[in-house]
Structure 1
Amino acid sequence: MVDSLRDQLLKSGIVKQIKDEKRQQQPAPRPGGAHGKGKPPHKPERPARSQEEIDLAKAYAIRAHTEAAERKRAEQEAAEQARLKRERKAKVQQLLQGQTLNKAEADQVRHFEYGGKIRRIYVDAAQLAELNAGKLGIVQNGGRYVLVSQAVAKLISEIEPNLVALLVDASSGGIGEDGVPDDLMW
């Protein structure tokens, strides 16, 4: 069987010899304690650092401090943006409370483009005419589309413009020459 190098050295006695020599070089412990009274253990002196090493250490410390400050600033900015978004959402919820005009028995479909896709909302005949005339608007709220008055839609567009899904410009009439609402591009 092959012995490891360590085992071979132990058998030959070289390792024991080196350990004995190291033990003889160390001073004997004092009776009052390992290092005497109040004296710290002896540490080997480190070689003095060069100016280049000191400058490099300072540069690393400055960089770490700057990066930490930037991270903290970015976190504070993100927290502020989240707070503002929550406030805007609460204002929109407050505006929509009791102002929705959706009807469960609505039977006509009004298509509109929102977010790059064609969406739909169910309205009755009177709501469809008012929606196409710009008297009503559609607001996206919590993944649903809500029919609201023009005034409410304009207030919401001032708070959070991307929530207004459809508000036909009343000055253009809203209906093109072909009878199709101007916001639809079929």
Structure 2
Amino acid sequence: MAHSLRDQLLKAGLVTEAQVEKANQPKPTTPRQPQAKSKPPRRENRPPPAAPRPESRENKAPRPAPKEKSDLAQFYEARAKTEREERQQAEQRQREIAARRKQTREQVAALINDNLKNVDDADIRYNFVIGDNIKYLYVTEAQQQELADGKLAVTFLGGKRCLIPADTAQQILALDPDKLIVINAPEDDALTPSPEPVCTTDS
């Protein structure tokens, strides 16, 4: 059947004898070359990148200098400091004055209590003047004479009218010149350092 097809092609003039013979020769088989496997990209033996070195102090940029305070801010700060110091000094002085007053009151009260000459059953009324007011207390006959002679004086302690010796009265006035004391003197009927009774908290 193959020959008949060849003959028909030859008769028809579609092919030549040479082409038929060439077609009948076996084709040489070329050995198939193995396909090369794709290799991974070759890594170059490069050293790892070095870590960035910390900047030395010499290489660091200098820090900006702190901004100086303006003259006005410095003025207000200095004034506030001065006022604060003055206020503290004034408070300290007030504390010292209060402490001295307390100490003086305690000394005056001790002098009066230690030298008190009041007699509970005295029956002679003795009048004395403080400012525009007339005060009185009861004394003995001997005390009345001593008051007239200026040997006794009258003062106050805790609202109570107290008889004390004249020398004790002078000690009290030396401690507290504002303490109210009534004492007769040869040149004057009464010595009253203050026109009105001035009593401390305990007098």
Does the alignment reach a TM-score above 0.5? yes
Partner SS for 2:99: helix
| Separation of aligned partners in 1, 2:138 and 2:79 | 59
Gaps of 5+ in 1: 1-48, 175-181
Q: Are residues 1:134 and 2:141 paired? A: no
| Separation of aligned partners in 2, 1:119 and 1:65 | 54
Q: Are residues 1:58 and 2:65 paired? A: no
Q: Which residue of 1 aligns with 2:134?
A: 118
Task: Provide closer, same or farther for how the CA distance between residues 143 and 81 of structure 1 changes in structure 2, counting only shifts above 3 A.
Answer: same
TM (norm. structure 1) is 0.58
Q: What is the CA deviation profile of residues 48-71 of structure 1, one whole-angstrom value per residue up to 9, with x for unaligned ones?
A: x9x9x9222222212211111111
CA contact (8 A) 2:124 2:141 kept: yes
Q: Which residue of 1 aligns with 2:57?
A: none
Q: Which residue of 182, 185, 190 maps to 1:183?
A: 190
Task: Provide closer, same or farther for how the CA distance between residues 54 and 96 of structure 1 changes in structure 2, counting only shifts above 3 A.
Answer: same
CA contact (8 A) 2:116 2:162 kept: yes
| Separation of aligned partners in 2, 1:98 and 1:116 | 30
Q: Which residue of 159, 165, 173 maps to 2:175?
A: 159
CA contact (8 A) 2:155 2:162 kept: yes
Which letter maps to 2:138? Y
Partner SS for 1:161: coil
CA contact (8 A) 2:154 2:181 kept: yes
Task: Provide closer, same or farther for how the CA distance between residues 150 and 92 of structure 1 changes in structure 2, counting only shifts above 3 A.
Answer: same
Q: Which residue of 1 aligns with 2:116?
A: 100
CA contact (8 A) 2:152 2:165 kept: yes
CA contact (8 A) 1:153 1:164 kept: no
| Separation of aligned partners in 2, 1:76 and 1:92 | 24
CA contact (8 A) 1:109 1:122 kept: yes
Task: Provide closer, same or farther for how the CA distance between residues 74 and 113 of structure 1 changes in structure 2, counting only shifts above 3 A.
Answer: farther
TM (norm. structure 2) is 0.53
Which letter maps to 1:126? A
Q: Which moved more, 1:103-112 or 1:134-143?
A: 103-112
Q: Which residue of 1 aligns with 2:33?
A: none
Q: Which residue of 2 aligns with 1:42?
A: none
| Separation of aligned partners in 1, 2:179 and 2:135 | 14
Q: Which residue of 97, 101, 106 maps to 1:81?
A: 97
Partner SS for 1:81: helix
Number of residue pairs aligned between Structure 1 and Structure 2: 125
| Correspondences of 1:13-52 after superposition (within 5 Å) | none
